[in-house]
Structure 1
């Protein structure tokens, strides 16, 4: 049966002109020009009865004629060939000897130039030609439709038997004879059949090569926005169909030719397969939604201290596949801006759902024992770490952030990521969660959108971030540093010198060596700094204020509000100076 093997490579909707020439009933039919276009497909036929037949012709239609309408001027066949080719016709079949004895050379030359098949027909009735060709077209289409129906039925049986998306993709790959790839709506690879052995499914972006002609970004995301739906003759040959259920866009099904030539007719079978895949994805998402709710409720109880003693928490987490018995950190990721209004009619999943799905996919592929939960507007990850590993926790997490961000699947909105200290006792998990949330809050203040911050690196910024009004901090900086807070090269250079002095406990010799200054040069700068901001070398309280002001100046929100406050401070100073002179 046809369903036990991939369809023959020559099968598609209609038949090709070359296949028509092989039909026994049409023996004697000859291609006299345009042989390079014999792959054009015939889906219907028409008979020429009037000279201006062009407007009634359709794509993939073969025109039959005796030449009678053009018998007075056969040269008009040149214009007919041009018009038929431009309308996408399959070819022209002409019966010579009755009204036209031979085709003009100009007709043959134009057909050859356009690769437009021109056929000479034997002495056979047009009704016989119509009957033979249309019967062959209908027979082939009925087989293809039956094959498509069989594929749909078999895939449904596999879904109801409990098979997942990988098994469905594997089966489609074997039946169609192509490498199959399924992505999300934004291009993250859900499943891909093996590149070296079609029909063998491989999960995720592993094993991705560059031989399939698909554009991918550095994270492995397929740039689906560059793919056109339907059949592409390549190279490589490819068929792209949407995976849609109702108005929900689940992604793309991409089939690339490997073991046989793909045909446009394969698109119909793949659309049926995509419908079943949408069912599989919907089923997985529904199960994942139930699991996520249960996991979220459990993690909330853990963070609130309602989940029981540590041993019970570890045991329950193990049932969910989470390893809470090992050293870990808590990661919290939050979008930077309020989400735009979500319109379900757009066909995509809500941004927060995609954000969570991206984190879950990226983290669980690297650490199957990690907990990844969506809590309200944030994603919480409990990630196992090796305390003995060299480097910071941020080095471990940054590859995850890179893959989730932007084209990695988390959407186009920026997000901040906060990391807690490493903890070894599950009882410390609530405190670690608060540390990670503080890192997100302060990191956004300190670095702006897209910050990745560890709690241990916050220092005094933890306190500064609690000041809700950036203008208040900007006023403190302007009052403490005066003109030194200005945004110009000289002030920036002097602030660098001042920070180096504070870092070296006002040790002039060590600071000079660190800055590569001559000792006397640094002494001169200290004198200049004290004229600007006061006797910081002898006043410990002033030094504290200066140190805090320098740290506050590094906050993005303060630096944005500062120019106006510096201008106000300068105006006040000039006003007091004028008043003194008038007295």
Structure 2
């Protein structure tokens, strides 16, 4: 990483918030503190100083703030030196960075208990030279903090201008990550919300280490104590090797930008630049999403025209512009969300699942999302069962029903194939419930029944044919309807029906007599048996 002596220090608070300022060890290096001496708390030299305060009253605890360097002559404690033993613990508890004290005027020495406690808490205890005034320390240290913060802002602004120029020039995430990697001399990767790499840049070795250690999954998996902040805050490993900044636009998370420094010297200014890069990356992502949405709508409009017979001429040629091959024998599949699904968000995720599945099984296949369904057109050699299963596997939180058409020899037959697939999806759900998968050729008589658009007429036919057996209000009638169904299914084989229903032969004979009194002499009337069979099939079609 390039050196930047003006860059302020950085550390993580216990809450995971990044704290910017100057480390206590750096404060001791300013000229006014050349004669200062650290007498305890060496382990806390990396504590960050953001402000300074002077202890003038005994109840100073009510006035101190976290990350302060507290200066004192001991005057407020001159009459109660015994309170010094507890002072260090109280200041540490309130998040102060260090205590700097002058001896000789009001206090001759510090209690041994105070020094031991400072070492135990890693709380820096600094002995100030008597010839340095507090105003000199305040001016120099505060000036140093402000200068470093100004340098950080200037560096971030310079990086921001370079990143914005990339956007204005039509660049994308690849150019953004390359720019950041060059500015910081680190490995940088942009990942989506699923942890997949969108772009990466930097030295090959560092990029490989970033991929291996970060695993690009929002976890700093190799960090002994990774600190996660709120979703909108950076995630930084305390040793300075890794940093992750979310890409957020419009309140939505679109992924992250991750950086890795092999030297472990990621600093505050670097985090600021990563944050600017994440802002620019959000612009890139939202621009790409807008373009994708327009292209998706154009594809969907074209495919809808083809499937409704309004595609015009040169369909196959126009389809090639989208990477689709419609000149070969194909099948049409329709996936419809089941009624209990959250329509809007689920529809988008259903389309993404089918796009991924078709891309894997048939790269020349066509996929488009309509208002209520997703339509896929794939080659006749594609295993549609595996295709549907793959889409279901990535869309596990709700269900959809799928219908498959017969093989269409070419683009001119796609309209009929689409109608077949749509019918198979809807009849399949009616027969088997949510999540059904049905092929048009396997619908049998239900294909014919589905052609009847007037469901009132179907209901009337069921009531007229089955009478009291048409409803489920009476348990005995529902049981008799089950007996009738098995009888017709076995072609009036009484022995087989009795075996399936676990009835005694005489019991079944009694039930047949009762059914004939209710329905007519169906054992002798083939036409009546056909009507009864159709009525039972209509009842079996859920939703009709």
Using structure 1 for the length normalisation, give the TM-score. Answer: 0.70
Task: Measure how far apart 1:397 and its partner are.
Answer: 1.9
Secondary structure of 1:13's counterpart equals strand
1:396 is displaced (CA, Å) by: 1.3
Give yes or no for the alignment of 1:133 onto 2:141. yes
**1:291 to 2:298 alignment:** no
Instruction: Find the counterpart in structure 2 of residue 76 from structure 1.
Output: 83
How far, CA to CA, are the matches of 1:139 and 1:454 in structure 2?
73
Aligned equivalents of 2:442, 2:497: Cα separation in 1: 24
2:378 maps to 1:380: no
Higher mean C-alpha displacement, 7-16 vs 286-295:
7-16
Match of 1:151 in 2: 159
SS in 2 for 1:394: helix
Q: Show CA shifts across 1:448-495 (max 9, x none).
A: 555554444444444555564699389649947849968989978994
> In the alignment, what sits opposite 1:472?
459
> Superposition RMSD on alpha carbons, in Å?
4.8
Select which of 320, 323, 326 maps to 2:322.
320
CA contact (8 A) 2:522 2:528 kept: yes
Residues 193 and 200 of structure 1 are in contact (CA less than 8 Å); yes or no, is this contact kept in structure 2? no
CA contact (8 A) 2:51 2:142 kept: yes
Residue matched to 2:103: 96
Shift of 1:317: 0.8
Give the structure-2-normalised TM-score.
0.74
Cα 1:382–1:487 change in 2 (3 A) is farther
Q: Report whether the alignment pairs 1:162 with 2:170.
A: yes
8 Å contact 1:480–1:546 — kept in the other structure? no
Q: Within 2, Cα distance between the matches of 1:136 and 1:87?
A: 24
Kept in 2: contact 1:473–1:552 (CA 8 A): no
Secondary structure, aligned partner of 1:15: strand
- Residues 173, 190 of structure 2: 8 Å contact kept: no
User: 2:430 corresponds to which residue?
Assistant: 445
CA contact (8 A) 2:10 2:268 kept: no
Stretches of structure 2 lacking an aligned partner (at least 5 in a row): 12-18, 220-227
Alignment of 1:126-525 (within 5 A): 126-169=134-177, 171-172=179-180, 175=183, 177=186, 180-183=189-192, 189=196, 191=198, 193=200, 199=207, 211=215, 214=218, 228-234=231-237, 238-244=243-249, 247=250, 249=252, 251-255=254-258, 257=260, 259=262, 260=264, 262-263=266-267, 266-309=270-313, 312-337=314-339, 356=351, 359-360=354-355, 363-364=358-359, 367-384=362-379, 386-387=381-382, 389=383, 393-404=384-395, 406=397, 415-462=400-447, 466=453, 468=455, 472=459, 476=463, 479=466, 482=469, 495=482, 505=491, 523=505
Distance 2:465 2:91 in 1: 79
Distance 1:374 1:482 in 2: 42
1:220 is aligned to none
Contact in 2 for aligned 1:92/1:119 (Cα 8 Å): yes
Aligned residues of 1:394 and 1:454 also touching (Cα < 8 A):
no
User: 2:243·2:271 contact (CA, 8 Å) conserved in 1?
Assistant: no
Output the CA distance in 1 between the equivalents of 2:278 and 2:355. 24
Q: Which runs of 5+ in 1 are unaligned?
A: 216-224, 343-349, 407-412, 559-583
1:62 aligns with 2:69: yes
Deviation at 1:424, TM superposition (A): 3.7
**Offset from partner CA, 1:91-141 (integer Å, 9 cap, x none):** 322233432333334444554554443333344433343344334433433
**TM superposition shift of 1:212:** 5.5
Aligned to 2:16: none
Give per-residue Cα distances to partners, 1:288-317, cap 9 Å, x unaligned: 2432343233223322333334xx211111
> Structure 1 stretch 60-69 or stretch 502-511: which is displaced more?
502-511
CA-to-aligned-CA distance 1:39-73 (integer Å, 9 cap, x gap) = 33222222222233334333322222222222222
Among 55, 80, 84, the alignment partner of 1:48 is 55
Q: State whether residues 302 and 313 of structure 1, in contact with CA within 8 Å, keep that contact through their aligned partners in structure 2.
A: yes
Matches of 1:265 and 1:118, distance apart in 2 = 28
Q: What residue in structure 2 maps to residue 572 of structure 1?
A: none
Q: Give how far 1:522 is off.
A: 7.7
* Structure 1 residue 318 displacement after superposition: 0.8
- Give, in whole Å, the separation in 2 of the partners of 1:181 and 1:493: 65
